[in-house]
Structure 1
Amino acid sequence: MGALATAEEGKPLMQSGSNTAVYALDVDARRQARAFLGLPASVFAGACYCTASMSMVLLNKVALSSFGFGSPNALLFYQCALCVLLVHCCKLAGLVKVEPFNWQIIKIWVPVNIIFVGMIGTSFWALASDLNVAMLTVLKNLTNFFTLSGDYFLYGRTYKLNVWGCVGLMALSALCGAVTDLAFDARGYFWQMVNCLFTAAYSLYMRGAMDKVSQHTSDGKKLGEFSMVFYNNLLSLPFIALIMAGTGELRGWLTEPDLHNPTFMAVAAVSGIIGFAISFTSLWFLSTTTPSIYSLVGSLNKVPLALMGLFAFNVAWTLPNLLSILVGTLAGIVFTVAKSKS
């Protein structure tokens, strides 16, 4: 019988004539270990990300439009600070491990963080406008075009025509929605388009940053999800504070009447907790897949979100509005079929 090999990932358990069979069993075992509730890690992480994302958009829209809260950047600062606090509490309780503070990691992570602040900031500003949730979700699909293009030019990844056809259907959905929008808001459209660019840049740049950071971690591995959540939100605070100072919110947010409204404070607290959840699930999902799949799968939650937005906020809708949502659904189906055959 051959000698036992080291239990390293990607190596056979035994060195003998049956190495190939044992290696296959080892791969299957590792895949099972990465499964959650019988689902592959990428599928489970994607489902968690979509759930958190939908909840976050709806709650932030409630907080920013239903109460008349006039300091969106202050709410963003609060959510990021709460994320830092929650991760730190989990660390003190021994539930998670966070990479020790490291200036080399900070230098690599600052560009990621600037893009992160741009992504969540423009999302807040779009939600604070008169742009309704349904139209926001339709426009969000345009992120996929930017991400696929970046994947091609930056990483040399190529995609078949059926994948590009999926993106084309999503773009058509956005066009149909824009043409039939009964409450056009130029400011909301502008910030949402900018948000699409930041979101694509975030998913594209993050993967490279993860590889660079692994050279400076204490164990030589990539940052864990909780470490990335901690660094992302901690480094965001000074940038958001600068934005608050530039917009005048730093002087006036304490005088907001809604700070004395228990309902608003409850919504803000829950949105902060969900912000922690979406930070973790988005990074977790991105670590299990490619930027393009991350972006496209994230688009699948836009269909139910758009429908919930139409009914939850009493938005006037027409048959063309619903047709644009249907086109988005078809795009998701096309992508699922294309991915299953690849």
Structure 2
Amino acid sequence: MDTSVANNPVIAIASYCLSSIVMTLGNKYVLSGAHFNMNCIVLAVQSLSCLFVIFALKAANIVSFRRFDAEDAKKWSPISFLLVLMIYTASKAIQYLSVPVFTIFKNLTIIMIAYGELLWFNGSITPKIMFSFALIVLSSVVAAWSDLGAMAEFTPQALIGYFWMFANCFSNAAFVLFLRKRIKLMNFTDLDTMFYNNLLSIPILAVWSLIFEDWSAENIARNFPPESRSSVILMMVVTGLLSLGISYCSGWCVRVTSSTTYSMIGALNKLPIAVAGLIFFDSAVTFPSVFAIFLGFAAGLVYALAKIDQKKHENHTLPTHKSN
């Protein structure tokens, strides 16, 4: 990839958005009828599919990435562990909480990441940036208004859900922040990041599947029915191929922007899917749903303007720091 393109934040953000939307819609279309409860195995197959493709491209001299190194793997393994932990805790939280409530807490993670960047990377949070955070959280609250009564119900099931939700928020923030730090320290390219993330995730996913998932004959038959086993496995491979884009673009976007921007884009990226649901599917068009989408787009606009102002301020103050 040309250097000017590889280091262009706009192209990286657009690519991440597109790949995320394709992956989300692909998962919904391909796996919506399969009723999987063995998520770790699905994720492991997706990682294997990614590895197969990038090794094939490398063998054809189309791409290149560094060879496996045990020392690099040792340093990168916490990132892969946090990635698996983030995915697993999300699946557990969504098991006990409604999707709207889950989304509200998920968007609060953006604030945790922003303050993590403030501590680790000497970042800064301007009033406009904080206002954009407030708007994106408010948009989630508006969208979930009819479901918020469930948040007041502190049943044992809800408490378990909140435990997994907070675990997901912390693991999500830790993954994004550690990912950015490791990419800088180890000078990884985007393909290096993709290679090690997928390679090291597979054994972790396999172990977690054996520990946490139901491997009884009855459950295996339910997930992989004999009459459609080959098509189910094919579906898993197809989603693995779709995950190539998100796997590559995630590391690319974190590298050329910031952890906070990456997370903000992830939150805003739900908006085009929500709009598609209102236009093309059977989602009900209500005032809260439309207003929530409007607030989300407003949050994105405010955040973009805040980052532009921040960049101008940094460029303006740079000569002053040098002269001192």
TM range (shorter): 0.7 to 0.9
Deviation per CA, 1:241-290: give whole Å up to 9, x if none. 11111124445565224571666455433311121211101111111112
Identity of aligned residues (%): 29
- Whose RCO is larger (CA < 8 A, sep 6+)? 2
Within the candidate set 255, 258, 265, 1:287 is matched to: 255
Amino acid at match of 2:252: W
- Cα deviation for residue 229 of structure 1 reads 1.0
The match for 1:202 is 175
- Cα deviation for residue 226 of structure 1 reads 1.4
- Cα deviation for residue 336 of structure 1 reads 1.5
- Cα deviation for residue 116 of structure 1 reads 1.2
1:84 maps onto 2:48 in alignment? no
Amino acid at match of 2:16: Y
SS at match of 1:82: helix
Question: Unpaired runs of 5+ in structure 2?
Answer: 152-157, 311-324
SS at match of 1:68: coil
Amino acid at match of 1:68: H
- Cα deviation for residue 47 of structure 1 reads 0.7
Question: Unpaired runs of 5+ in structure 1?
Answer: 1-31, 214-221
1:142 maps onto 2:108 in alignment? yes
SS at match of 2:125: coil
Identify which range, 168-177 or 277-286, moves more after superposition.
Answer: 168-177
Q: How does 1:1-342 map to 2 (within 5 A)?
A: 33-35=3-5, 41-125=8-92, 131-132=98-99, 139-181=105-147, 186=158, 194-213=167-186, 222-252=187-217, 254-255=220-221, 256-258=223-225, 260=228, 264-309=232-277, 314-315=282-283, 318-342=286-310
TM-score (structure 1 length as normaliser)? 0.76
SS at match of 2:35: coil
Instruction: Return closer, same or farther for 1:67/1:312 CA change in 2, 3 Å cut-off.
Output: farther
The match for 1:20 is none
Asked whether the equivalents of residues 26 and 242 of structure 2 are also in contact (C-alpha less than 8 Å), the reply is no
More helix by share: 2
Greater C-alpha radius of gyration: 1
- Cα deviation for residue 154 of structure 1 reads 2.6
- Cα deviation for residue 65 of structure 1 reads 4.3
Asked whether the equivalents of residues 64 and 191 of structure 2 are also in contact (C-alpha less than 8 Å), the reply is yes
Asked whether the equivalents of residues 132 and 303 of structure 2 are also in contact (C-alpha less than 8 Å), the reply is yes
- Cα deviation for residue 163 of structure 1 reads 0.6
Identify which range, 174-183 or 264-273, moves more after superposition.
Answer: 174-183
SS at match of 1:94: coil
- Cα deviation for residue 96 of structure 1 reads 1.6
Amino acid at match of 1:225: D
